[in-house]
């Protein structure tokens, strides 16, 4: 938990000081009330106070301090809490970018979303709603117990021992609480993931009339989540009852012992007044601590997953771990002053080098089977290489390695004279534009989505790019034109329009190397032809790697690589391979043959 407060320790201590002053003000009120009571009963000066009015003034001052301490305390608490959440979320997002697709393909969106939202919120509350209360309550208790021991040793012990028992309760039940807390978070993450899946897949659910089944699944997951919460709640309530019992015992027992000892003459009667008030001053903040304990525990259990995530080993270290690790405030400041350590070189429109894969092997993690095995090929400058093969043969993995998503397990990848590594990945990525099979469109306007490729593009450039892909008239006919919102994942665009918009991004980036993951099987004939024509224009004078599914595309390739189980089993042009049995089977079984060809 300590690591999450990095950079804010002084401010957290500051909040705790505010809480200590708040509680000590309450203790002072009770202490002066004891003096006030004694003066009323004995009609004499107490501790140098000769007038009740003097005591009342001090009680008033203490009340004033306690009241006016509240606003700055709560304001500071929320400000620091917000800063902590922002820093924590910045850490999570930066680590997520470091881990890249290798992590996201293995974990559900709801699990990651939970870390950024709900878990981060509970970690923040640990520092703002639990830790200051715990520190101030314990400080106040120790301070008063010392006073009670000075007043009477037995009274001191009778206050201390029940409170120690109260504090031991969480330690005794820690294992069970941790187990149930982890189960609750897992159920929460699953439930959130299912909901997100349902929202994102609502069109598919409606299309297959499966919304009822999905609803039943959500109800079952919700009921399972409720049962886990209730089971955890039973343990929490039991623990809370035990802590409450010992706290009340710590309040009652010393008063009883003080009364008995005073009755037998072992304790001056007037001291009972101080004991009664000071025991209340010691125990009352502990009731607030009991209420805050659940917040503290949830913060601890929420932090475990975040801690594990931040310690996650980066299997494909394309980015130096320390490079992007800034606090939220540092991140904003560096961004505002253009000081973020990212590749800022200009794209080399004239790229004269080749792309080379030399003995490349790859597996998705240690101990896992290699999905690429000793891949060797050269993608000559301004040529097109087509990757063909059945699903799972390794085509997409080759493309993703070239795109800088992963580092080879063995072998080397060269783009021109630069070897793909953590030092060169951004430079290499600046030379590459890619159109993936399922291009992602962000929730935002058409303009914002196009500027993903080139933030400096003006409206004229955007219009030209959209005209190149045949969407210029379509966008101009929209009421908001380039300010039109696309909806979640570009739902307002058809599949063909989304891919053409992705091609428009490549026009805007104008990178010398192009990756094209062909996805035409689910599109209508008109969209297929448009996309093929857009792709043909886009790849002119570019070094192109295409994952091909159409014979017309493959025929135009300068080099065809046939992959099978992660190996290149044949290579050549269409003319060189057309008599190959393996090639012919792929053409018939896997590839769409253009009509009339």
Q: How far apart are CA 431 and CA 418, in angstroms?
A: 11
Q: What is the pLDDT along the chain (597 residues), one digit of tens a residue?
A: 566 666 666 777 777 787 888 888 888 888 888 888 877 777 777 777 777 888 888 888 888 887 877 777 788 888 888 888 888 888 888 788 777 776 777 778 788 888 888 888 888 888 888 888 888 888 889 989 998 999 889 989 999 999 899 888 888 887 888 888 888 888 888 888 887 777 767 666 666 666 677 777 888 888 888 888 888 888 888 888 888 899 899 888 998 998 888 888 888 888 888 888 888 888 888 888 888 888 888 888 888 888 888 877 765 555 544 444 555 556 556 555 555 454 444 454 556 788 889 888 988 777 778 888 888 988 888 888 988 888 888 888 888 888 888 888 888 889 888 888 877 777 888 888 888 877 777 777 888 888 877 877 788 888 888 888 777 888 888 788 878 777 655 566 766 777 778 888 888 888 888 888 876 555 555 656 667 777 777 778 888 898 887 777 788 888 888 888 888 888 888 888 888 888 887 776 554 444 444
User: Is residue 132 within 8 Å of 19, Cβ to Cβ?
Assistant: yes
Task: Return the closest-CA partner of residue 412 out of 356, 351, 371, 365.
Answer: 356
Q: How far apart are CA 117 and CA 285, in angstroms?
A: 30
Residues 452, 303 within the same domain: no
Q: How far apart are CA 518 and CA 180, in angstroms?
A: 47
Confirm whether 340 is domain-assigned: no
Determine the pLDDT at residue 343: 42
Determine the pLDDT at residue 161: 92
- The DSSP symbol for 5 reads G
Residues 283, 395 within the same domain: no
411 phi-psi bin (left φ>0, alpha ψ -120 to 50, beta other):
left
Confirm whether 208 is domain-assigned: yes
Q: Where does 100-130 have alpha helices with state H? A: 101-104, 109-114, 120-125
Gyration radius from the chain CA atoms? 34
Which residues, listed in sequence order, are joined to residue 564 by a DSSP beta bridge?
Answer: 567
HSE at residue 25, side-chain half, CA atoms within 13 A, is 17
Q: What angle do CA 125, 127, 128 make, to 5 degrees?
A: 65
Structure tokens at 128: 């703002």
User: Is residue 343 within 8 Å of 318, Cβ to Cβ?
Assistant: no
Q: How far apart are CA 494 and CA 393, in angstroms?
A: 29
The gap between the terminal CA atoms of the chain, to the nearest Å, is 66
Provide DSSP, 444-489.
SBHHHHHTTT-TT--HHHHHHHHHHTT-HHHHHTSTTGGG-B--GG
Cβ partners under 8 Å of residue 141, min gap 6: 163, 282, 283, 285, 286
Residues 282, 430 within the same domain: no
- Residue at which a domain ends, from 310, 344, 362: 310
Q: Where does 264-350 have alpha helices with state H? A: 269-310, 328-336
Cβ partners under 8 Å of residue 514, min gap 6: 432, 433, 434, 435, 506, 538, 539, 542, 543, 544, 545
Confirm whether 23 is domain-assigned: yes
Determine the pLDDT at residue 351: 63
Residues 292, 388 within the same domain: no
Q: How far apart are CA 325 and CA 311, in angstroms?
A: 13
Residues 69, 166 within the same domain: yes
Residues 27, 153 within the same domain: yes
Confirm whether 320 is domain-assigned: no
Please write the tens of the pLDDT for every residue from 443-501: 778 888 888 778 777 888 888 888 887 778 888 887 888 787 776 555 667 667 777 78
Confirm whether 322 is domain-assigned: no
Residues 286, 389 within the same domain: no
Determine the pLDDT at residue 345: 40
Q: What angle do CA 431, 433, 438 make, to 5 degrees?
A: 155
Provide DSSP, 240-262.
HHHHHHHHHHHHHHHHHHHHHHH
Beta pairing class for 567-572 and 513-517:
unpaired
Beta pairing class for 418-419 and 410-415:
antiparallel
Residues 172, 281 within the same domain: yes
Q: How far apart are CA 352 and CA 417, in angstroms?
A: 10
Residues 433, 562 within the same domain: yes
Confirm whether 333 is domain-assigned: no
Place of tokens 């024509």: 533
Determine the pLDDT at residue 326: 52
Determine the pLDDT at residue 492: 64
- Residue at which a domain ends, from 269, 284, 310: 310
Please write the tens of the pLDDT for every residue from 419-430: 888 777 778 888
Residues 271, 392 within the same domain: no
269-310 and 131-151 helices cross at what angle (nearest 10)? 150
Structure tokens at 264: 């037998």
User: Is residue 519 within 8 Å of 549, Cβ to Cβ?
Assistant: yes
Determine the pLDDT at residue 154: 92
Q: What are the angstrom distances between the C-alpha of 510 and each of 215, 233, 530, 577?
A: 46, 58, 20, 32
Does pTM surpass 0.75?
Answer: no
Determine the pLDDT at residue 532: 74
CATH number of the domain at 52, please: 1.20.1560.10
The total number of residues written for the chain in this structure: 597
Determine the pLDDT at residue 146: 92
Residues 106, 255 within the same domain: yes
Across 527-560, b (16+ Cβ under 10 Å) vs e yields bbebbbebbeebbeebbbbbbbbbbbbbbbbebb
Q: How far apart are CA 405 and CA 579, in angstroms?
A: 36
Burial class from Cβ neighbours inside 10 Å (0-12, 13-18, 19+) for residue 337 reads exposed
Determine the pLDDT at residue 322: 42
Determine the pLDDT at residue 344: 43
Burial class from Cβ neighbours inside 10 Å (0-12, 13-18, 19+) for residue 256 reads exposed
Provide DSSP, 367-381.
TSPEEEEEEEEEE-T
Confirm whether 122 is domain-assigned: yes
- The DSSP symbol for 558 reads S
- The DSSP symbol for 385 reads E
Confirm whether 370 is domain-assigned: no
- Residue at which a domain ends, from 279, 310, 341: 310
Residues 231, 118 within the same domain: yes
> What's the number of domains the chain is made of?
2
Provide DSSP, 41-103.
HH-S-BTTB--HHHHHHHHHHHHHHHHHHHHHHHHHHHHHHHHHHHHHHHHHHHHHHHHTHHH
CATH number of the domain at 463, please: 3.40.50.300
Residues spanned by the domain of 539: 383-402+422-589
């Amino acid at each position: 938990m300590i690591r999450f407060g990095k950079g804010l320790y002084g401010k957290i201590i500051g909040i705790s000081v505010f809480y200590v002053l708040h509680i000590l003000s309450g203790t002072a009120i009770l202490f002066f009330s004891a003096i006030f009571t004694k003066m009323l009963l004995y009609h004499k000066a107490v501790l140098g106070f000769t007038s009740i009015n003097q005591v009342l003034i001090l009680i008033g001052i203490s009340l004033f301090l306690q009241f006016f301490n509240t606003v700055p305390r709560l304001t500071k608490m929320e400000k620091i809490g917000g800063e902590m959440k922002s820093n924590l979320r910045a850490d999570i997002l930066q680590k997520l970018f470091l881990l890249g697709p290798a992590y996201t393909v293995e974990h559900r969106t709801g699990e990651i979303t939970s870390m950024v939202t709900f878990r981060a919120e509970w970690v923040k509350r640990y520092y703002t709603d639990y830790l200051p209360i715990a520190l101030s309550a314990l400080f106040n208790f120790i301070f008063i117990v010392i006073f009670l021991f000075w007043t009477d040793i037995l009274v001191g012990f009778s206050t201390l021992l029940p409170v120690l028992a109260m504090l031991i309760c969480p330690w005794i039940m820690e294992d069970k609480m941790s187990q149930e807390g982890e189960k609750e978070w897992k159920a929460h993450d699953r439930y959130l993931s299912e909901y997100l899946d349902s929202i994102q897949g609502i069109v598919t659910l409606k299309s297959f009339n499966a919304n009822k089944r999905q609803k039943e699944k959500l109800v079952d997951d919700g009921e399972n989540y409720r049962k886990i919460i209730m089971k955890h709640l039973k343990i929490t309530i039991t623990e809370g009852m035990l802590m409450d019992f010992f706290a009340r015992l710590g309040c009652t027992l010393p008063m009883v012992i003080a009364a008995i000892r005073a009755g037998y003459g072992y304790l001056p009667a007037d001291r009972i007044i101080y004991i009664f008030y000071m025991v209340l001053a010691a125990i009352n903040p502990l009731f607030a601590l009991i209420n805050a304990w659940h917040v503290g525990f949830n913060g601890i259990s929420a932090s475990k997953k975040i801690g594990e995530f931040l310690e996650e080993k980066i299997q494909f270290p394309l980015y130096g771990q320390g490079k992007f690790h800034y606090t939220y405030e540092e991140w904003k400041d560096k961004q505002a002053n253009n000081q973020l350590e990212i590749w800022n070189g200009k794209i080399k429109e004239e790229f004269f080098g080749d792309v080379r894969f030399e003995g490349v092997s790859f597996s998705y993690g240690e101990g896992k089977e290699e999905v690429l095995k000793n891949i060797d090929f050269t993608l000559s400058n301004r040529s097109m290489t087509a990757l063909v093969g059945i699903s799972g043969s390794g085509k997409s993995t080759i493309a993703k390695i070239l795109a800088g998503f992963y580092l080879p397990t063995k072998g080397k990848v060269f783009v021109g004279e630069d070897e793909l590594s953590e030092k060169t990945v951004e430079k290499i990525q600046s030379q590459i534009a890619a159109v993936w099979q399922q291009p992602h469109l962000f929730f935002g306007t058409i303009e914002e989505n196009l500027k993903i490729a080139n933030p400096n593009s003006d409206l004229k450039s955007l219009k030209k790019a959209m005209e190149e892909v045949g969407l210029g008239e379509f966008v101009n006919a929209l009421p908001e034109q380039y300010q039109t919102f696309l909806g979640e994942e570009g739902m307002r665009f058809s599949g063909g329009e989304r891919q053409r918009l992705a091609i428009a991004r490549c026009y805007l980036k104008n990178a010398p190397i192009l990756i094209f993951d062909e996805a035409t099987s689910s599109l209508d004939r008109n969209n297929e032809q448009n996309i093929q024509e857009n792709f043909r224009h886009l790849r002119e004078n570019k070094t192109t790697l295409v994952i091909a599914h159409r014979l017309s595309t493959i025929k135009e390739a300068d080099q065809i690589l046939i992959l099978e189980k992660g190996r290149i089993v044949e290579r050549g042009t269409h003319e060189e391979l057309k008599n190959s049995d393996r090639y012919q089977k792929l053409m018939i079984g896997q590839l769409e043959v253009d009509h009339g060809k």
